[in-house]
Amino acid sequence: MYYKFNGFTQKLVGAAASAAYTPQGLKPLVSTESPALIFGTPTKLASDSPAAVSYLSKNKVPDLQKLFQKADGVPVHLKRGIPDQLLYRTTMALTIGGTIYCLIALYKASQPKSRK
Amino acid sequence: MTHQTHPYHMVNPSPWPLTGAMAALLTTSGLAMWFHYNSTQLLIMGLITMLLTMIQWWRDIVRESTFQGHHTTPVQKGLRYGMILFITSEVFFFIGFFWAFYHSSLAPTPELGGHWPPTGISPLDPFEVPLLNTAVLLASGVTITWTHHSLMNANRNETIQALSITIILGLYFTALQAMEYYEAPFTISDGIYGSTFFVATGFHGLHVIIGSSFLLICLFRQVFFHFTPTHHFGFEAAAWYWHFVDVVWLFLYISIYWWGS
Same domain, yes or no, for B129 and B191? yes
The pLDDT-based confidence of A91 (bands split at 50, 70, 90) is very high
- Cβ of residue A12 closer than 8 Å to a chain B Cβ: no
Q: A51: which chain B residues are within 8 Å (Cβ-Cβ)?
A: 157
Q: A38: which chain B residues are within 8 Å (Cβ-Cβ)?
A: none
Residue A94 pLDDT greater than 70, yes or no: yes
| CATH, residue B145 | 1.20.120.80
Q: Per the CB < 8 Å rule, is A102 touching B63?
A: no
Of A78, A44, A74, residue with least CA distance to A58: A44
Q: B36: which chain A residues are within 8 Å (Cβ-Cβ)?
A: 109
Q: pLDDT value at position A52?
A: 41
Print the SS3 string covering B124-182: CCCCCHHHHHHHHHHHHHHHHHHHHHHHHCCCHHHHHHHHHHHHHHHHHHHHHHHHHHH
Q: How far apart are CA B7 and CA A66, in angstroms?
A: 20
Domain boundary among B53, B70, B87: B70
Q: B37 CB contacts (<8 Å, ≥6 apart)?
A: A109, A116
- Cβ of residue A60 closer than 8 Å to a chain B Cβ: yes
Q: pLDDT value at position A38?
A: 47
Same domain, yes or no, for B182 and B237? yes
DSSP H helical segments within chain A, as ranges?
A: 17-21, 52-56, 61-68, 82-109
Q: Per the CB < 8 Å rule, is A60 touching B224?
A: yes
Same domain, yes or no, for B177 and B115? yes
Q: What's the predicted TM-score (pTM) here?
A: 0.83
Same domain, yes or no, for B179 and B196? yes
Q: pLDDT value at position A44?
A: 40
Q: B32: which chain A residues are within 8 Å (Cβ-Cβ)?
A: 109
Residue B232 pLDDT greater than 80, yes or no: yes
Q: How far apart are CA B137 and CA B245, in angstroms?
A: 9
Type and span of the H or E element at A5: strand A2-6
Q: pLDDT value at position B1?
A: 57
Q: pLDDT value at position A17?
A: 79
Phi, psi (5° rounding) for residue A12?
Answer: -80, 135
Q: pLDDT value at position A48?
A: 43
Distance to chain B for A42, nearest Cα, Å? 12
Count contacts between A and B (CB, < 8 Å).
Answer: 138
Residue of chain B with shortest Cα separation from A55? B223
Q: Per the CB < 8 Å rule, is A68 touching B52?
A: no
Q: pLDDT value at position B53?
A: 98
Residue A40 pLDDT greater than 70, yes or no: no
Residue B119, domain extent: 72-258
Better-scored residue on pLDDT, A37 or A112: A112
Q: How far apart are CA B139 and CA A78, in angstroms?
A: 41
* The pairing of beta strand A2-6 with beta strand A11-15: antiparallel
Q: pLDDT value at position A22?
A: 66
Rounded average pLDDT over B136-155: 97
Within the 14-33 window of chain A, which residues sit less than 8 Å (CB to CB) from chain B?
24-31, 33
Q: pLDDT value at position A24?
A: 60
Same domain, yes or no, for B161 and B227? yes
Rounded average pLDDT over A35-56: 46
Residue of chain B with shortest Cα separation from A30? B69
The pLDDT-based confidence of A13 (bands split at 50, 70, 90) is confident
Residue A1 pLDDT greater than 90, yes or no: no
Q: What is the mean pLDDT of chain B?
A: 96
Q: How many domains does chain B have?
A: 2
Based on the number of CB atoms within 10 Å of its own CB, is B12 exposed (0-12), middle (13-18) or buried (19 or more)? Answer: middle
Q: Per the CB < 8 Å rule, is B49 touching A98?
A: yes
Taking only the tens place, the pLDDT of each residue in B73-102 is: 999 999 999 999 999 999 999 999 999 999
Rounded average pLDDT over B41-58: 97
Same domain, yes or no, for B107 and B194? yes
Taking only the tens place, the pLDDT of each residue in B4-36 is: 899 999 999 999 999 999 999 999 999 999 999
Same domain, yes or no, for B111 and B202? yes
Same domain, yes or no, for B102 and B230? yes
Q: pLDDT value at position A53?
A: 46
Complex ipTM: 0.86
| CATH, residue B7 | 1.10.287.70
Half-sphere exposure of B199 (CA within 13 A, CB side): 17
Domain boundary among B13, B44, B70: B70
Taking only the tens place, the pLDDT of each residue in B177-231 is: 999 999 999 999 999 999 999 999 999 999 999 999 999 999 999 999 999 999 9
Note whether A62 and B112 are within 8 A (CB). Answer: no
Q: Give the best residue of A91, A92, A114 to mutate against chain B (max B CB count within 10 A).
A: A91
Same domain, yes or no, for B26 and B44? yes
Based on the number of CB atoms within 10 Å of its own CB, is B122 exposed (0-12), middle (13-18) or buried (19 or more)? Answer: exposed
Q: Per the CB < 8 Å rule, is A24 touching B60?
A: no
Same domain, yes or no, for B244 and B169? yes
Same domain, yes or no, for B48 and B140? no
Domain boundary among B22, B43, B70: B70
The three-state secondary structure class of B69 is: coil
Question: Rounded to whole angstroms, what are the CA distances from A11 to A4, A6, A14, A19?
Answer: 8, 5, 10, 15
DSSP H helical segments within chain B, as ranges?
A: 16-37, 41-62, 73-106, 129-152, 156-183, 191-223, 233-252
Note whether B156 and A42 are within 8 A (CB). Answer: no
Q: Give the best residue of A70, A92, A95 to mutate against chain B (max B CB count within 10 A).
A: A95
Distance to chain A for B10, nearest Cα, Å? 12
Residue A47 pLDDT greater than 50, yes or no: no
Same domain, yes or no, for B47 and B159? no
Rounded average pLDDT over B106-112: 96
